[in-house]
Structure 1
Amino acid sequence: MSRLVIGLIWLLHWLPLVLLARVGSGFGRLLYWVVVPRRKVALTNLRLCFPELSEPERRALARRNFALIGRSMLERGLAWWASPERLRATVRIEGLAHLQRLRAEGRPVLLLAPHFLGLDMAGTRLTLEGDFVSVYSPQKDKVFDHWLHHGRSRFNDQLLLSRHDGVRATVKAMKSGRPFYYLPDLDYGRKESIFVPFFGVQAATITGLPRLARLAGAAVVPCITRILPGGQGYVLELGAPWADYPSDDVEADTLRMNAWLEGVVRTMPEQYYWVHRRFKTRPEGEPRIY
C-alpha cells in the first residue's frame, strides 16, 4: 500500500502547482471527515487556544487546516523529486542575507523553525543553499522513511542526526558551520521540559533553544514558512537574529519562544500543526485533555 501511495505522489508532482494545490486541498477536506481522532485533537487545541471564536468558527478553521495538511502531504513530492529550478521557483526565500552574513562571520546559527505546514518543503529548499544539520526521526514504514530521508538529504552534504546522538553532536555541527534547522515546539514529554504558557495554556516545552544557543554561541534566526493561496507556492521568511538571546534565565527564554510563536500563529492560524497533541503532558494534578 505504501508503494502505491508513493507512486501516486510521484505522479501528482508533475502537475502544475495550481492544480496540485487543488487536489491536495480536496484530499485534506476528505481527511477532515475520515481521520476522526486527529480532527478531535485539532478541535480541542483550537478550543483551548481560541476561546474567543465560536464553535462554528473553530470548525471552519479546522477544515481550512486540514485542507492545507492535504496540500502539504501531496506537495511533498516536489521536495522529493522536483528539479532545483522548480524548487527555487516554488519556494521563495526572504531574508536570506541574514543567514549569509552570519555564516560569513563564522557565527554558528540556530534556525528556529516551528511546525507550520510548509516546514518540510522549506527545509528541502534551504538545502539548496548549503550544508545544514537537522534531527531526523526514522519512520516505522520503511518505504516512507526512505523518501522522507531522501527529501531532506538530496542536495549538498546534509547531516541528519537522531535524537539519540545528543547535544554534543549538534553543537559540534553548528560550530563547524552548519546551521541547525530546529523544531522545538512539540510536546516531547516531561524530560528536559518545563511548563510555560502557550496561548494561555500551560504547555510542556523543551528548553533546548536557549541551552543550545548558549553552548554553541549561536545566533537564533526565526524561520517561518507560509503557504501562499491559490497554488502560488511558498515563502520562507528568515528574520533578523534575536537580540539579547539567550539570557541567564532559561525559563524566561523559553517563555519568549512560546510568546513569539503564538504571535506568528495568530497571523496564519490555519497553517499550524494543530493535529499534534500539544497539551498532552500536564502539570501534576491536572486532568488529561485529550
Structure 2
Amino acid sequence: MNKSKFIATLIIFLIRLVSKLSLRWAQRLGGWLGSLTWRCNAGPARVTRTNLQRCFPEKSEAEINALGAASMRETGKVAFETGAVWEWPAEKTLSLIKSIDGEHLIKEAEEAGKGLILLAPHLGNWEVAGLFFAARYSMAALYQPPKIEELDDYMRAVRERNGSELVPANKRGVMRLFHILRDQGVIGILPDQEPELSGGVFAPFFGIPANTIKLVSKLIERTGAKVLCVYAKRLPEGEGFVMTVRPVAADIYSEDLDVSAAALNATVEACVRETPEQYQWEYKRFKRRPDGERHFYD
C-alpha cells in the first residue's frame, strides 16, 4: 500500500469512527482540538490571526484573541461533524436542521421560474447546507477533487448519495452549469474560494482586494438566474443547525463584472458578520495579491 492510499484509508476509518458519536460529543471533541490548535499557535491559528487582524482592524488584540479562539473551536467542530454528515443516513442528518430562517426567499426564487444559484460560503457547516438542498432539488455543485486522489471515490459517493450531481471544475463542468440553469435547475457554488488568476477579478472583501470568482457573474449574465446565499448555522450544545437563507446584494446582477464581483463579496461578508466565529478564517483567502502588493502569509 502506497503512502497516499494508507493516508486515505486512515482518514476514512477515522471519519467512520467519529460517526459513532452523537453530534454533541463530536462537537465537544472537535472544539477541544480547535482550542488546542489555537493555544499551540499552529499554522491554522496563525493564518486565522492574520485574517482577523486584517478584516477587523477596529478590534483590540484581546477581541482578536477571543474571536480567533472561538473560530478555531468552531473549525474543529466542522471537522468532527463530518462523520455524521457523511456517514449517517441522510434522513438522520437532515433531522439536525431545526428550522429554516428565510424560507420565504426560497419560495420567491422558485416562483420566479428561473434557474437558482446557491452561494454556500465556508460558514457554519456547508456540507449540511449542501445535503439539505440536494434533498429538495435536483441539484448540481462544482467539485474540486481532493489532494489525496484515493479519497475521491469516497467523497463522491457520500456527497452524491442524495442525488446531488458533482460537476468538475473545468470547462466541461462550467458548460454543464449553464445548461442546468437554462433548464431552470439549481446549482451550488462555494463563492469564497480563491480561483486561478485567470478565473478571478480583485474585488473588496472586508475592505481588502480579494481574488474573486468570475463564474457566478457570468452565469447570472447569460442565464438570468436568481441568486441566494445559504449556510447552516450551528446551534450550541449539539442541538443541531438553523438553515439560514439570505438575499444577495442587488448589484450582483450588474453587467459590470467588477460591480457584480464586489456585490458577491459584500453578500458573503454580510453573512459572515452575522456569525463571524463560524467562518473558516484559517483559509488563506488573500493568498493572491494584486501586482506589487506583499503577501499576507509570508
Question: Of the candidates 177, 195, 207, which is equivalent to residue 214 of structure 2?
Answer: 207
Matched with 2:38 is: 32
Matched with 2:3 is: none
Please tell me the residue identity of whatever aligns with 1:210: S
The alpha-carbon deviation at position 194 of structure 1 amounts to: 1.9
Matched residues in 2 for 1:205 and 1:124: separation?
Answer: 25
1:12–1:254 CA distance, 2 compared to 1 (3 A): same
Map 1:84-99 onto structure 2 (within 5 A). 84-92=90-98, 93-99=100-106
Map 1:145-184 onto structure 2 (within 5 A). 145-156=152-163, 158-164=164-170, 165-184=172-191
Deviation string 1:194-249 (CA, Å, 9 cap, x unpaired) is: 22211111212122222111212200112122111111111122235765751232
Instruction: Could you tell me which runs of 5 or more consecutive residues in structure 1 were left unpaired when the two chains were aligned.
Output: none
Matched residues in 2 for 1:181 and 1:35: separation?
Answer: 34
Instruction: Could you tell me which runs of 5 or more consecutive residues in structure 2 were left unpaired when the two chains were aligned.
Output: 1-6
Matched with 1:224 is: 231
DSSP-derived class of the 1:65 partner: helix
Provide the TM-score with structure 1 as the length reference: 0.90
The alpha-carbon deviation at position 25 of structure 1 amounts to: 1.0
DSSP-derived class of the 2:95 partner: helix
DSSP-derived class of the 2:209 partner: strand
Map 1:22-171 onto structure 2 (within 5 A). 22-33=28-39, 36-92=42-98, 93-100=100-107, 102-103=109-110, 106-156=113-163, 158-164=164-170, 165-171=172-178
Matched with 1:264 is: 271
Matched residues in 2 for 1:6 and 1:56: separation?
Answer: 38
Matched residues in 1 for 2:83 and 2:41: separation?
Answer: 22
Q: Is the 8 A contact 2:250 2:263 kept in 1?
A: no
The alpha-carbon deviation at position 34 of structure 1 amounts to: 5.6
Identity of aligned pairs, percent?
A: 31
Matched residues in 2 for 1:64 and 1:122: separation?
Answer: 21
Matched residues in 2 for 1:60 and 1:211: separation?
Answer: 39
The alpha-carbon deviation at position 133 of structure 1 amounts to: 0.7
Q: Is the 8 A contact 2:252 2:259 kept in 1?
A: no
Q: Is the 8 A contact 1:203 1:279 kept in 2?
A: yes
Question: Of the candidates 238, 242, 252, which is equivalent to residue 245 of structure 2?
Answer: 238
RMSD, aligned CA? 2.2
The alpha-carbon deviation at position 102 of structure 1 amounts to: 3.7
Matched residues in 2 for 1:243 and 1:258: separation?
Answer: 12
DSSP-derived class of the 2:204 partner: strand
Q: Is the 8 A contact 2:124 2:231 kept in 1?
A: no
Task: Please identify runs of 4+ aligned residues in structure 1 that moved more than 4 A.
Answer: 240-245
Please tell me the residue identity of whatever aligns with 2:91: E
Q: Is the 8 A contact 2:115 2:223 kept in 1?
A: yes
Q: Is the 8 A contact 1:221 1:242 kept in 2?
A: no
The alpha-carbon deviation at position 42 of structure 1 amounts to: 1.1
Deviation string 1:171-215 (CA, Å, 9 cap, x unpaired) is: 102223431111122222421322221111121212222211121
DSSP-derived class of the 2:253 partner: coil
Q: Is the 8 A contact 1:45 1:274 kept in 2?
A: yes
